[in-house]
């Protein structure tokens, strides 16, 4: 089931310019969304979205991976900026090999970590290659280039070797977005 299927209010009904999605989406509709990697391997699904109450930004998506019918599954706090929203297939893509994810810093549902702990956050961001000092939205759309995805499916580090990244986040060769990234509540950088 995708976010469009869980849309109780019809916010994703119109795919044109009307409606909020996919640039602005309801958090409840994202819970349960599948997550795959660039090799299209199933990595689990989103169980929770963690908000940073000091900044108003989404900090992590909690990914459930492994186990059977919820038994023995491991939870992972994935930095929001490490995800890519695949708007064509209505799922998230995470640039991590399935075997490597098994070694990611994780926890079980009965022992959540202190996600505000700087040392814990540093370890998580280091694993996913994200910057703990900078919030940011997932990249999104069918034309967004991501490492680890086959060309033609929105993949590679740079689009067609042009040297221009379609990832709009600061520091990702997407142009100068320094001014926009400082706007409070902005999902850009």
Distance between first and last Cα of the chain: 29
Q: Could you tell me if residue 60 is inside a domain?
A: yes
Question: Residue 20: its pLDDT value, please?
Answer: 60
Asked whether the beta carbons of 142 and 88 are under 8 A apart, the reply is yes
pLDDT-based confidence at residue 166 (cuts at 50, 70, 90): very low
Q: In the 3-class helix/strand/coil scheme, how is the chain assigned residue by residue?
A: CCCCCCCCCCCCCCCCCCCCCCCCCCHHHHCCCEEECCCCCEEEEEEEEEEECCCCEEEEEEEEECCECCECCEEEEEEHHHEEEECCCCEEEECCCHHHHCCCCCECCCCCCCCCCHHHHHHHHHHHCCCCCCCCCCEECCCCCECCCCCCCCECCCHHHCCCCCCCCCCCCCCCCHHHHCCCCCCCC
CATH, residue 93: 2.30.30.240
Q: Give the chain's mean pLDDT.
A: 73
Between 189 and 80, residue with greater pLDDT: 80
Find the mean pLDDT for residues 86-106: 90
Tell whether 110 is covered by a domain: yes
The β-bridge partners of 50 are 60
How many domains does the structure of the chain reveal? Answer: 1
Domain of 111 in residue numbering reads as 27-140
C-alpha span between 17 and 21 (Å, rounded): 9
The pLDDT tens digits of the residues spanning 4-61 come to 777 777 777 765 555 566 677 888 889 999 999 999 999 999 999 999 888 888 999 9
Examine residue 167 and state whether it is found in any structural domain, yes or no.
Answer: no
Would you say residue 154 lies in a domain? Answer: no
Residue 176 lies in a domain: no
Per the domain annotation, does 182 fall within a domain? no
* Residue scoring higher pLDDT (1 or 187): 1
Residue 146 lies in a domain: no
pLDDT confidence of residue 45? 93
Decide if pLDDT at 108 tops 70.
Answer: yes
> Is 175 among the domain residues?
no
């Amino acid at each position: 089931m995708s976010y469009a299927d869980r849309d109780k209010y019809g916010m994703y009904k119109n795919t044109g310019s009307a409606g909020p999605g996919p640039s602005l989406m309801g958090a409840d509709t994202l819970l349960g969304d599948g997550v795959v990697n660039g090799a299209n391997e199933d990595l689990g699904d989103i169980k929770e979205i963690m908000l940073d109450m000091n900044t108003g930004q989404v900090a992590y998506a909690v990914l459930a991976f492994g186990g059977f019918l919820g038994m023995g599954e491991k939870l992972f706090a994935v930095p929001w900026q490490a995800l890519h929203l695949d708007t064509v297939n209505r799922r998230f893509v995470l640039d991590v090999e399935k075997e490597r994810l098994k070694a990611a810093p994780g926890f079980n549902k009965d022992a959540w970590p202190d996600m505000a702990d700087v040392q814990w956050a540093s370890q998580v961001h280091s694993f996913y290659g994200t910057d703990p000092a900078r919030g940011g939205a997932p990249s999104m759309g069918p034309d967004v280039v991501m490492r680890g995805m086959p060309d033609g499916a929105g993949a590679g580090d740079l689009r067609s070797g042009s040297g221009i990244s379609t990832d709009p986040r600061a520091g990702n060769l997407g142009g100068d977005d320094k001014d926009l990234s400082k706007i409070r509540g902005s999902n850009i950088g």
